[in-house]
Each structure stands twice: as C-alpha cells, then as structure tokens.
C-alpha cells in the first residue's frame, strides 16, 4: 500500500516546558494518506517549525522505497515509532532552544536601548516576560537588591573608564555604608593583598584578611590524589598544603565583615568561598597565571588563539581515535 505524510499537520506543535505527548492517533484517509496526530497538554503554539518539517521529510525518505514517485513503507509500525522518537527529540530541542543565548545577539542594538531582539527568537524578553517581570519586582521589593543596584549604578556613572576596579570597590563599599571589609587572598598574591589593605585602610575601612593556606590542611586529607600534589603536571612546584577557602569564609564570617573581597583565589576555590560567605562577595583580582591575572587578555591575543586551537585540535584527534577503536 502506498502512503505519504501530510506534513502540514506537523506545523503546529504544542508544548510548554514539560511537553507531554499523551495521545497518539493514527488514522487513514482513503488509501494514500497517513495522518499522525500529536496532542500535548499545553497550549503554546509554535508555528511553522521548518526544521521539524525537514526532519520528518528526511525520515520518511529513509524509511521509504520510491515506487513511481510515491513512498511505500514496508513497515507501518516502524515508521510510526521512528517518527514519534524523532518528534520527541525535536520537541526537546525546541524546548531547550527557549533558553537564552544572548551571546549570539547584538545586544547593543536591542535590550541596551529598550527593545527585544529581532535576531533571536529565544530572546528572554520575548520568551520569558514573566521572569523579566519578577526580576523587575525584586528591584522594588528586595531592599538589598534595590540599594546595591542604585549604588553600583552611581559608581559606574561617576568613574566610568577613569576609575580602576579597586576604586569602584571602595566607592561601592562606602555607598553601601560598609566599614569592615574582608580580604580572602591567595598566598601567591600576598604582596598585592598588603597593598590593597593599605589603600583600603587609608580610605577609613577596617580590614580583616585570611590567607588561602590557613589551617595548613594537607591536600590528601581532603581527597586530592597524591599525584596531584607537590609538582604540577606542567612542572611547577605547587606544594602539599591545600588552599582552604572554607576556612577563609568561616573566619571572615566569624569576624562579621560587611563585605568580602577575593584576591586571586583559584577557580573552584572562589566558588566554595562565595557559597559559604555570609557577607556579600566581590572579586577584585581573578587569578590567571598565564596572563598576569587578566583573564580577558587571552581572548583576542595570539597566545590565546594558538592555545585553544591546539587544545581543541587535540580533543578532536582523541575523539576520532576513540571512535576508530
């Protein structure tokens, strides 16, 4: 028996967050049409899903044997099952496509001037107006968010381009009424920490500081394999005492600091510290040993391009090797 799919039936797909395909009907019209009807519990209509239509069309061609220009399906159930599987995959892809990807947009021409993107269908201003509304309400209802946002905006306006980040930090702390600041610093940046504390004290702040090696905890005692202690895989001495951001946070909590400033904590250690800190946290220096603690420097430099080109090439090579095995 000869069949063909009526693709227009798939141009309206209903979904919202958790898509539930709870009914599937297969009915025939005459002897040459299969009608596959998918029904969802939700009512958000996505019109004209061309990618879905193409996928269904390609799938039917894979399953069909061409006879005089018509599609003949050897196994009706196989066709149905394959289509359902493909549709579920596409529906999940559509749902995930609702997640914001603002990096693909020229935001300067859109949200930065008060309008939603015309480039991206998944612009959060279009896809998630409820969340945008909730955020706007927080600026009014949450006293900390309201005050912090106002102070930060004033600091930006006063010192735009002219002030270094340390000055921004000082003015923000003053604007928030903070008087006691905590420094959580890397042992490798002790000289920088001394200089930062000196400047902060001259602006009238009380400074409390904790070094990352406080507690002298052995790396092996917190689950770090011994092979990753003492000497790095790149040949540098890194020692056997672990960084201790947990103790840094707890000690500064004990000192009741108003705000804590991170100075060169390792990636991951900074996350642990921020998670446990009771006071608000800002980063003054982001550690990047390869480019004097300036992570942005690698993005457009020759070194950065060469590094990631080689790194990604090696990853692809290993993937190909694994597939061959």
Tell me, what's the pLDDT at 310? 87
Whole-number pLDDT of residue 325: 77
- Predicted confidence (pLDDT) at residue 123 exceeds the cutoff of 50: yes
When mean pLDDT is compared across 46-50, 95-99, 291-295, 314-318, the lowest value belongs to 46-50
Residues 21, 23, 27: CA angle, nearest 5 degrees: 125
Sign of CA dihedral 68, 74, 77, 81: negative
pLDDT of residue 311: 85
What's the residue count for the chain? 325
Distance separating alpha carbons of residues 207 and 209, to the nearest angstrom: 6
pTM of this structure = 0.69
Up-side HSE of residue 202: CA atoms within 13 Å toward CB?
Answer: 8
pLDDT value of residue 97: 74
Q: Tell me: the pLDDT tens digits for 156-183?
A: 999 999 999 999 999 999 999 999 999 9
């Amino acid at each position: 028996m000869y069949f063909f799919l009526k693709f227009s039936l798939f141009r309206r797909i209903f979904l919202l967050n958790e898509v539930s395909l709870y009914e599937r009907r297969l009915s025939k019209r005459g002897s040459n049409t299969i009608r596959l009807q998918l029904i969802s519990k939700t009512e958000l209509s996505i019109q004209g899903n061309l990618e879905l239509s193409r996928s269904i069309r390609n799938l039917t061609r894979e399953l069909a044997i061409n006879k005089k220009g018509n599609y003949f399906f050897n196994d009706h159930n196989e066709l149905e099952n394959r289509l359902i599987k493909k549709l579920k995959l596409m529906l999940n892809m559509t749902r995930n496509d609702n997640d914001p990807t603002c990096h693909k947009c020229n935001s300067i021409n859109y949200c930065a001037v008060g309008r939603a993107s015309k480039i991206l269908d998944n612009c959060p201003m279009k896809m998630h107006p409820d969340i945008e509304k909730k955020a706007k309400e927080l600026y009014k209802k949450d006293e900390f968010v309201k005050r912090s946002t106002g102070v930060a905006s004033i600091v930006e306006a006063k010192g735009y381009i002219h002030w270094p980040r340390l000055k921004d930090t000082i003015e923000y702390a003053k604007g928030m009424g903070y008087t006691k600041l905590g420094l959580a610093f890397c042992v490798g940046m002790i000289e920088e920490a001394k200089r930062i504390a000196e400047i902060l004290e001259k602006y009238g702040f009380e400074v409390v500081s904790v070094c990352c090696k406080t507690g002298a905890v052995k790396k092996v005692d917190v689950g770090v394999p011994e092979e990753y202690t003492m000497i790095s895989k790149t040949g540098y001495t890194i020692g056997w005492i672990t960084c201790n951001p947990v103790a840094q946070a707890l000690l500064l909590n004990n000192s009741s600091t108003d705000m804590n400033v991170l100075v060169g904590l390792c990636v991951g250690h900074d996350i642990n510290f921020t998670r446990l800190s009771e006071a608000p946290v800002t980063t003054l220096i982001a550690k990047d040993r390869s480019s004097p603690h300036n992570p942005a420097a690698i993005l457009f430099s020759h070194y950065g391009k060469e590094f990631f080109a080689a790194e990604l090439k090696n990853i692809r090579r290993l993937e190909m090797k694994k597939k061959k095995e």
